[in-house]
Chains A and B, each alone.
Chain A
Amino acid sequence: MSEQNNTNDCLMSIEHITKEFKLSDGNVLRACNDICIDIPKGKTTAIVGESGCGKSTLVKTIMGIHEPTSGRVMFHGQDITKLSNKEKRQNYRHIQMVFQDPATAFNPKMKVKDLICEPLRSFGIISKGEVEERAKELLRQVDLPVEFVNRYPHSMSGGQRQRVAIARALALEPEVIVCDEATSALDVSVQDSIIKLLVKLQQEKGITYIFICHDLALVSLFSHKVVVMQKGTVMEQLDGDKLAESTHPYTRDLLNAVFSVH
Chain B
Amino acid sequence: MLLEINDLDITYGDNTPTVENVKLSLNEGEILTIVGESGSGKTTVIRSILGLLSGDGHVSKGTLNFKGRDLKALSLKEWRELRGKDISMIFQDSGNMLNPVQTIGHQFREYIQLHSDMSDSEADAKAVEILKRMHLPNAENILSSYAFELSGGMRQRVGIAMAITFHPQLLLADEPTSALDVTTQAQIVKELMQVVKESGTAMIMVTHNLGVASYMSDKLMVMAGGRVLEYGNAKDILTNPQSDYTKTLLASVPTIGGKRYV
Contacts and interface: CB of A to CB of B under 8 A. Distances in A.
Interface of A: 1, 44, 50-52, 157-158, 187-192, 195-196, 199, 202, 214-218, 220-224, 240-241, 243-244, 253-262
Contacts of A190: 37
A226 B161 CA distance: 36
A96 B184 CA distance: 30
A63 to B, nearest CB: 22
B256 A259 contact: no
B252 A257 contact: no
Interface in B187-242: 189, 208-215, 238-239
Given A44-B262, A188-B249, A262 B181 contact: no
A243 B257 CA distance: 8
Nearest to B245: A189
A50 B248 contact: no
B254 interface: yes
Chain B's interface size range is 35 or more
Contact of A261 (B183, B211, B257, B259): B211
B250 interface: yes
Nearest to A255: B256
Given A187-B38, A262-B214, A221 B252 contact: no
A254 B183 contact: yes
A189 B249 contact: yes
Contacts of A196: 261
Interface string B166-200: 00000000000000111111100100000000000
A256 B183 CA distance: 9
24 contacts: A51-B180, A188-B208, A188-B252, A189-B37, A191-B252, A199-B261, A217-B254, A217-B256, A220-B256, A220-B257, A221-B258, A222-B261, A253-B183, A254-B182, A254-B183, A257-B183, A257-B185, A257-B186, A258-B186, A258-B256, A259-B186, A259-B189, A262-B238, A262-B239
Most A Cβ at <10 Å: residue of B185, B215, B251, B252: B252
A244 B152 CA distance: 28
Contact of B182 (A202, A215, A240, A243): A215
B254 A215 contact: yes
B214 A51 contact: no
Interface string B150-162: 0111000000000
B185 A187 contact: no
Interface of B: 37-39, 151-153, 180-186, 189, 208-215, 238-239, 248-262
B151 A51 contact: yes
Contacts of B39: 157
Contacts of A261: 210-211, 213-214, 238, 250, 253, 255
A215 B211 CA distance: 12
Contacts of A44: 262
Contacts of A253: 183
Contacts of B239: 262
A259 B212 CA distance: 6
Rank and list the top 4 A-B pairs by shortest CB-CB distance, nearest first: A259-B211, A192-B252, A257-B186, A217-B254
Nearest to A218: B254
Contact of A217 (B214, B250, B255): B255
Given A192-B251, A220-B260, A260-B255, 19 more contacts: A1-B260, A50-B181, A51-B153, A51-B181, A188-B209, A202-B262, A214-B182, A216-B182, A217-B253, A221-B261, A240-B260, A244-B256, A244-B257, A259-B212, A259-B214, A259-B215, A260-B214, A261-B250, A261-B255
B208 A258 contact: no
A51 B156 CA distance: 14
A44 B261 CA distance: 12
Nearest to B209: A259
B32 to A, nearest CB: 17
Contacts of B259: 221
A106 B253 CA distance: 28
A224 B260 CA distance: 10
B153 to A, nearest CB: 8
Q: Most chain-A CB neighbours within 10 Å: which of B183, B254, B259?
A: B254
B38 A157 contact: yes
A249 B176 CA distance: 27
B35 to A, nearest CB: 9
Nearest to B251: A192
